[in-house]
Chains A and B, each alone.
Chain A
Amino acid sequence: MKVLVWIEVFGGEIVPAGLEALGAARQFGEPVMAAVFGHGLGDVPALLLRYGVDEVFAIDHPTLADFRVEPYAALLASLARERGARVVLAGATTYGRDVLGCAVFELDAALFSDVTGFVLIPGGKLKATRPIYAGKLTSTELVDLDETVAFVTLRARAFAAPKPGASAGSVVHVSPALAEEDISTKQVAFESGTGRASLTGARVVVTGGRGVGGPEGFELLRALAEELDGAVGASRLAVDAGWIPYEHQVGQTGKVVSPDLYIACGISGAIQHQAGMRTSKVIVAINEDPNAPIFELARYGIVRDLFDVVPALIAALRAKSD
């Protein structure tokens, strides 16, 4: 039973979600194929062999230089079909969800989005578990791989990346599926982000809510996040108040994060916010209100003004590294 992993690259490097998808693929104990698309792939295909991939399909072509869902999805679908993949995996990143979400319809296959766990059961059936209702429930769905191909996007940080080892497979170069004139979408420009850690991939997230009081307060949280090599998040209230841009919002109508350490500053912890962070490994809550629901989720809590605690934390961390 063959597994095909779509490996996302950005700036010439495999993104963490791509490696996590490889780690997930190897759970099957079946031959793993990987597909990587772009222009100027360099040594990425060879690197993939070191992660236990048996066959790497590398498509290095100008039409694939910028991410566009049309050529990427058409190519992934044709590879999956031609190579007989029964399971197609990728990280549930923006691009991953686009590519698999579109390719699945080419193959009339089954789609499982944002999966946190799966298992192959005897008889060729795949059981995939994913959060629904903003994480209040989990849904476990079943598909018969003999009848249907399964496309699975994986939640960030739900699977571990494999460790690199010796290479044993081969790289195959393939042509793209679509010609440039058949692609209706063009990338006009790309505006890079601030370069600060991406929320969904971050190991540590420091989040601010009502208690932060304004944009200046977020500067303080940024300083704490920097000490911890982490990313900054925000509750919906803080974003709606204009204190920090929407891309930082964590919660039901924002991003879902699952870091090792989540520090919630001045956040009450309403259900809609919990939806975005309840799978964090360790939660620390700093809030003056001892009754804030966030304390029910937290491992550690400090019931004090965050403007006293956060500077003290920064100082303690700096002293530690001196």
Chain B
Amino acid sequence: MHIVILTRSVPDTSAMPAVGADRTITWDNPELVINPWDEYAVEEAVLLKEAHGGMVTAFAVGPAADEVALRYAVSAGCDAALRVWDESLIDAGPFGLARVAAHTIAQIGDVDLVVTGKEAVDLNTGAIHLGLARALDWPVLTFVAKIIEFDPTAGTITVAREVEQGRQILRSSLPAVVDVVKAINEPRYPTFTGMRKAKKLQIPVRAPGISPGVRKSAQVVVDVPAARTGAVEIIEAGTAEKAALLLVEKLEDERLI
């Protein structure tokens, strides 16, 4: 049984990007971490491995910075890591990256499941794994809050996924691509042994093997969103009741209630 985690590094969520004069992003050397959503993917894969045996490989299509994510994944229980990259991918868009990822997964062969977090906290697109599924012609199950049943021998997976109106219970065939939300589990802390293993690991880097193709849209500019205007009006009144009444009045004046 072989599960692959698709992951990458992102700037730590408390880091603040700045916008340069040419309206591109500038960073002040932020700390890199594994994409937070992917921690849940790693934990879920490790739980499945503990139940079914087999192995889990952490996989990134990206530059050396993504090794932060890969090493974290290994420290939290993945058995191996793999990175695919060369300069032909620098301007690749989601479609190109998805095709390259699919090509590699197909080369690895015998993969039962690809798991990833629902989106990356930086670009928030949440689509590369959809393209990956499409390129492999595998089913994709998104916003998964629980893997109810996973049977690599029978080749089926049943999940509960969160949608606005409730939870959809879906059964699909394996191999499949799954993205997970926080509700699915509580990621364990990396163990000391895991961290040592991750630190020593030589992560193989492969060339993409196929061309990513031309990017479909051009990123033009980045801006800081308009700051919220106005200072806060602190409602002071002798009692909580008076403050509440004043607030209700003001909200009524603004036609909010």
The closest CB in chain A to the CB of B99 belongs to A105
Identify which of B65-73, B76-84, B215-223 touches chain A.
B215-223
Taken together as a complex, chains A and B put the C-alpha atoms of A10 and B250 apart, in Å, by: 36
Which A263-294 residues sit within 8 Å CB-CB of chain B? Answer: 271-272, 278-279, 281-285, 290
B254, CB-defined interface residue at 8 Å? yes
A141 CA / B218 CA spacing, docked (Å)? 6
B85-103 at interface with A (beta carbon < 8 Å) = 93-95, 98
Q: Is the CB of B245 within 8 A of A316?
A: yes
Question: Can you list, as one digit per residue, whether each of A171-206 has a CB less than 8 Å from chain B (1) or not (0)?
Answer: 000000000000011111111110000101100100
Distance of A163 Cα from B41 Cα, bound (Å): 43
Complex contacts, A303 vs chain B, CB 8 Å: 234, 236
Given A312-B240, A313-B248, does the pair A93, B122 have CB atoms closer than 8 Å? no
When each residue 80-113 of chain A gets 1 if its CB lies under 8 Å from chain B and 0 otherwise, what string results? 0000000000000111011001101110111111
Q: Mark A11-38, 1 if CB is under 8 A from B, else 0.
A: 1000100000000000000000000000
In the complex, are the beta carbons of A110 and B217 less than 8 A apart?
yes
Task: Check if B232 sits within 8 Å of A106, measured CB to CB.
Answer: no
- Using Cβ atoms and an 8 Å threshold, which residues of chain A touch B133? 102
**Among A47-55, A132-140, A208-216, the stretch in contact with B:** A132-140
Bound form: Cα–Cα A278–B224 in Å: 13
Residues of A within 8 A of B240 (CB): 302, 304-305, 308-309, 312
Q: How far is the CB of B53 from chain A (nearest CB, A)?
A: 25
A252 at the interface (CB under 8 A from B): yes
Return the chain A residue nearest B228 by Cβ. A297
- Across the two chains, which residue of chain A brings its CB closest to B230? A299
| A245 on the B face (CB < 8 A) | yes
Q: Is the CB of A253 within 8 A of B37?
A: yes
The answer to whether B241 touches A312, judged by C-beta atoms less than 8 angstroms apart, is: yes
Closest to B249 in A: A316
Q: B-side binding surface: helix, strand, loop or mixed? A: mixed
By size class, the interface of chain A is: 35 or more
Q: How large is the interface on B (under 10, 10 to 19, 20 to 34, 35 or more residues)?
A: 35 or more
How near does chain A come to B140, taking the closest CB pair, in angstroms? 7
Residue contact A139 to B95, C-beta cutoff 8 Å: no
Of A105, A246, A316, the residue contacting B244 (CB under 8 A) is A316
Assess whether B235 is interfacial by the CB under 8 Å rule: yes
CA distance A261 to B251 in the complex (A): 9
Partner of A101, one of B126, B164, B256, B257: B126
* A15, A93, A302: the one within 8 Å of B247 (CB): A302
- Taking CB atoms and an 8 Å cut-off, the chain A residues in 214-252 that contact chain B are 228, 239, 245-247, 249, 252
Interface 0/1 of B206-229, CB less than 8 Å to A:
000000000011111111110010
Q: Are B158 and A188 in contact (CB under 8 A)?
A: yes
| A101-B130 contact given A113-B125, A246-B181, A253-B121, CB 8 Å threshold | yes
Q: Which residues of A contact B127 (CB under 8 A)?
A: 97, 101, 104, 111, 113
The reply on A148 being an interface residue by CB < 8 A is yes
Q: Taking the nearest CB of chain A, how far is it from the CB of B219, in angstroms?
A: 5
Instruction: Evaluate whether A137 and B37 lie within 8 angstroms (CB atoms) in the complex, with A110-B216, A143-B218 already known.
Output: no
The interface bits of chain A over 105-131 (1 if a CB of B lies within 8 angstroms of the residue's CB, else 0) are 110111111100000000000010011
Distance, CA A83 to CA B153, complexed state (A): 43
Q: A130-B124, A313-B247 are in contact. List 14 more A-B contacts (CB 8 A).
A: A93-B164, A106-B134, A111-B95, A132-B124, A138-B223, A142-B217, A185-B171, A188-B158, A190-B166, A271-B16, A295-B234, A299-B233, A301-B233, A317-B257
* 18 CB-based A-B contacts, threshold 8 Å: A97-B126, A101-B127, A101-B130, A113-B124, A113-B125, A113-B126, A184-B173, A185-B171, A191-B160, A191-B167, A247-B183, A271-B13, A272-B13, A278-B225, A299-B230, A301-B235, A308-B240, A313-B247
